[in-house]
Chain A
Amino acid sequence: MNKILTLVATLGAAAALLAGCSKKSENSDAQETKVLLNVSYDPTRELYADYNQWFVQQMREKKHLKVEVKQSHGGSGKQARSVIEGLPADVVTLALSADIDVIAERTGKLPANWQKRLPENSCPYTSTIVFLVRKGNPKGIADWGDLARAGVSVITPNPKTSGGARWNYLAAWAWAEDQFHGDEDKVMEYMVKLFHNVPVLDSGARGSTNTFVQNGIGDVLLAWENEAFLAVNEFGSDKFDIVVPPMSIKAEPPVAVVDANAAAKGNAELAQEYLAGLYSPYGQALAARHYYRPCHPEMADARDMARFPKIRMVTIDDRFGGWAKVQKLHFTDGGVFDRIYTTGVGTNQSK
C-alpha cells in the first residue's frame, strides 16, 4: 500500500517540479517576451505562419523587442464567438467584417467604427470564390448555374459558422440575381436547389477542403481562391482543376486590433504595428505569394500577381448594401439561409 502512495506522491511531485521548471525557463531571459495573440479564420494558417516569423524578426532587429505571436484558427464565426466569450485576442484577422462587428457590439472591446481605422476598409488583402473540381471536370461545371443541376454534389461549409461559406452563398446569390433579373422567387428556387446538392456542412473552410480533397466527397468545392490554389499545390494538379466562374464576389477579410484586450496586456502599440506590417511591401508580397490578392498589387512580385485570373467581381457594399444588412437579412436565426436550408433538407432524398 505504502508503495502505491509513494508512487502517486512521486508522480505528483514530478509534475509540480516540471511545472516549476518550465516557468523558470520562460522567465529566466533578461527581457520580458511580449506575447501577441492573433485569432484568425481557417485558411490563413500558412500566411500567418510566415508573416509571424518575419514580424518577430523585425521587432527583434528594429525595436530590440522579444515578441512571440500565438495563433488560433477556426471558422470565422466560431472564432468571433470565442473572442466574445473571452478568448484574449490582441488582434483579430477574420473572414468578414460582420464577425468583427459582432465582437464590437457585444463586448465593446473595440469601437463600432473599427473598420475606418485602417486603409482599404481594414482589408490588407482580398480574395474571391472559385470552384475546385476533380481532374478533367467530369461533371462539366463552368458557372454558378451548374451547381444547382441534379446529380451534382457541392461542398461548402456552414454559413452560420464559416466566413468563407457566407461569401460562397452571396456569390451564388449575386449570380442568380443577375441571371433571373432580380426575380426573388427564382433566386430562392435556385438557392434551394443548390443547397439540396450539399451533402455535408463543415464548420470551417479547411474542414470543407478536407472533406472534398481527402475524403473524396463531392464533385465541386466552393473555395476561397487561396484555399483552392493551396489544395492543388499540396495534392498535385493531376488530381484537381480550378474552375474560375465568369463572375464572383470580392471577398474582403478585415483585420482589427481588439483594443481592450491589447491594452490589458500592454500590447496596444505592438498590435497596431503587427497589422500595419500587413500593408508594408513585405506583407503585401507575402499575401500575394500565399494567393491572397494584395491591396497594393505593385508591391507584390509580378510573377505571383500573374497567377490570379481575371474575374468580374461584385462587392458586398455595392451589391448588398454592406455586411450589417446582409448579416441580419440572411444569416440570423430564421433568416433567408435558414429558410433555404430547411426547405432543402426535406427534399434531399429525391436526389
Chain B
Amino acid sequence: MHHPGVSYEGKSVSRAARDPLWSRVFLIAGALVFLGVLLVLPLATVFVEALRKGLGAALETFANPDARYAIWLTLLVAGISVPLNLVFGLAASWAVTKHDFRGKSLLLTLIDLPFSVSPVISGLFLILVFGVNGWFGPMLNSLGLQIIFAVPGIVLATVFITFPFVARELIPAMESMGREEEQAAVILGASGWQILRRVTLPNVRWALLYGVLLCNARAMGEFGAVSVVSGHIRGETNTVPLHVEILYNEYNFVAAFAMASVLAILALLTLVAKTMLEWRIQRLQQQVVLERTRHRDPALVGPQP
C-alpha cells in the first residue's frame, strides 16, 4: 500500500533535480528582479531621497510643528482604533467560531466588507452619514459636534478600514482550536468571562497579537478613506500619509521622503515583529504536537532528558 506514494515522491524529486540549468537560473533571476524592482528599489528610494541633502536636512523636517503634529495625530488615531478593533475583533471571532446562530455567514461577510469596499468609498459613506448634510448632520450640528473634517472622522474612517484585521487572524486560530476545551470548562462550571480569559485567550494570544500588529500597520498608513474625511487642515487633521502628499506637492522632496521613511521604518519594524511572532507560533505548535504525542504513547518520543 505504501509503495506508490514513495515512488511518486521519488520521481518528483528526481525530476526537479533534472531541471535544466537555464530554467532554474531564469526562474530565480526572474523572481529576484521582480522582488528588486517592485519591493527593494522603491523602499530604498524612500531612504535615498530622504537623505539626498544629508541627515541634517532630513531631520529638519521633524522640527516643523505641522510635521510633528502629523506624527502625533497618526499615533493617536492608531492608539484609539487599534484597541477598539482588538475588542471588536475578539468579540466577532468569538461569536462566529464558538457559537451557532442564524445570520452567521452574513456576519462573516460584513466583517470582510472593509476589504472589498474601496477606501475612498468608505470615506464618502462617512460623509453621507455624519456630514453636515448627512443623516445625523442636523443632530450633530445642534449638539455642536464636528465629526467629519475633524479627528473623530479620521478615527471612524480608520476603525472601519482596519476592522477585519484582528477578526481575520483570530477566526482561523479559534476554528482550529475547536470547542472541546471550552465545553470542558463549561462542564467544570466556569463562567463565560472565565472561559474567555483562562481558556480561549491563552490559546489564541499569538494570533491576536499578530492581528493587532497588522491592524496597527494599516491604521498608520491609511490614506484614501482618511483623505476624504480629513479636510487637509495642516496641524489639525493631517496624518503622516496626508502630510507626505502635501510636502511632495510643495516640491519639498527631502521632507516628503523623510516623513515617508517614518512610515517605512514603522512598516519594517512591524515586519520584524511579525516574523518573530510567526517563529514563536510555529515553535509553540510543535510543542503542542510533541506534548500530545507524548501523552498518547511515551515510547514514540524516545528517552526523556
Contacts and interface: CB of A to CB of B under 8 A. Distances in A.
Nearest to A86: B132
A35 to B, nearest CB: 8
Given A15-B80, A70-B236, A85-B127, A45 B250 contact: yes
A166 interface: no
Interface stretch (B96-104, B227-235, B280-288): B227-235
A37 B234 CA distance: 10
A45 B66 CA distance: 14
A12 B149 contact: no
Given A46-B250, A84-B133, A85-B133, A71 B233 contact: yes
Interface in B210-251: 212, 231-236, 246, 248-251
B72 A70 contact: no
Contacts of B72: 18, 22
Nearest to A78: B232
Given A8-B86, A72-B232, A86-B148, A18 B201 contact: no
Interface residues of A, number: 31
A75 to B, nearest CB: 11
B35 interface: no
Contacts of B83: 8, 11-12
B79 interface: yes
B195 interface: no
Contacts of A82: 149, 231
Contacts of A86: 131-133, 137, 146, 148-149
B205 A1 contact: yes
Interface in B70-97: 72, 75-76, 79-80, 83, 86
A12 B87 CA distance: 13
B137 A37 contact: no
A207 interface: yes
B233 A72 contact: yes
Contact of B231 (A14, A87, A234): A87
Contact of A70 (B75, B80, B202, B234): B234
B208 interface: yes
Contact of A85 (B132, B201, B202, B234): B132
Residues of B in contact with A, size category: 20 to 34
Most chain A C-beta atoms within 10 Å of own C-beta, residue among B146, B231, B236, B250: B231
B280 to A, nearest CB: 12
30 contacts: A1-B197, A1-B201, A4-B205, A8-B83, A11-B79, A12-B79, A12-B83, A14-B79, A18-B75, A18-B76, A18-B79, A19-B76, A22-B72, A37-B233, A45-B250, A70-B234, A70-B235, A73-B232, A84-B132, A85-B127, A85-B132, A85-B133, A85-B149, A86-B131, A86-B132, A87-B231, A88-B149, A206-B249, A210-B248, A234-B251
Given A45-B250, A71-B233, A1 B137 contact: no
5 closest A-B pairs by CB = A15-B79, A86-B132, A87-B149, A87-B231, A85-B131
Contacts of B263: none
Interface string A1-17: 10010001001101100
B133 A72 contact: no
B28 to A, nearest CB: 33
A163 interface: no
A44 to B, nearest CB: 11
Interface string B173-209: 0000000000000000000000001000110010011
B146 A88 contact: yes
Contact of B232 (A4, A11, A74, A235): A74
Given A15-B80, A19-B76, A72-B234, A4 B208 contact: yes
B53 to A, nearest CB: 15
Contacts of A14: 79
Contacts of A210: 248-249
Nearest to B228: A82
Interface in A168-210: 206-207, 210
A1 B249 CA distance: 46
